[in-house]
Amino acid sequence: MERTLCLIKPDAVKNLKTWEILGRLDFSFNVIAIKKHQFSREEVKKFYAEHIGKDYYPGVEDFMVSGPIYAIILEGTNVINRYRDMLGYYDPPKAHLNSLRRIYGSVSPANAVHGSDSEESARREISFFFPNFK
């Protein structure tokens, strides 16, 4: 079984959509761990290190520290690709109509959810929030 990390971002948490999103995920994947977390600026810098220096990064950092998130480990067959398909395009207005980002997001980076983009990223991101999961 493959694993990936889902983050329910501050906008979806603030808009009380966490459990609605989680219900959609639980229907498609095994949810094996979940925790609420409030990012510090230093943690955002570590988590999004590959984006530092890009023109959009300051907005990402400000947004991710603006409120709590939920970190969730999802497990299933081909879970990374299947979950990323559910996410849709990173900019909600351009995402497909039934995508999580189109339904729950507004405009990037306030796009409601994050998903790992590869097995390597999934391992790194999962260990960031859940160091006991390998």
Backbone angles phi, psi at 90, to 5 degrees: -65, -25
Known catalytic residue at 51: no
Beta carbons of 89 and 54 less than 8 angstroms apart: no
Give the SS3 label for residue 26: helix
Beta carbons of 64 and 48 less than 8 angstroms apart: yes
Of these residues, 37, 51, 96, 114, which one is catalytic? Answer: 114
Q: Tell me the Ramachandran region of residue 53: left when phi exceeds 0, alpha when psi lies from -120 to 50, beta otherwise.
A: left
Question: How many Å apart are CA 61 and CA 78, to the nearest integer?
Answer: 30
Active site residues: 114
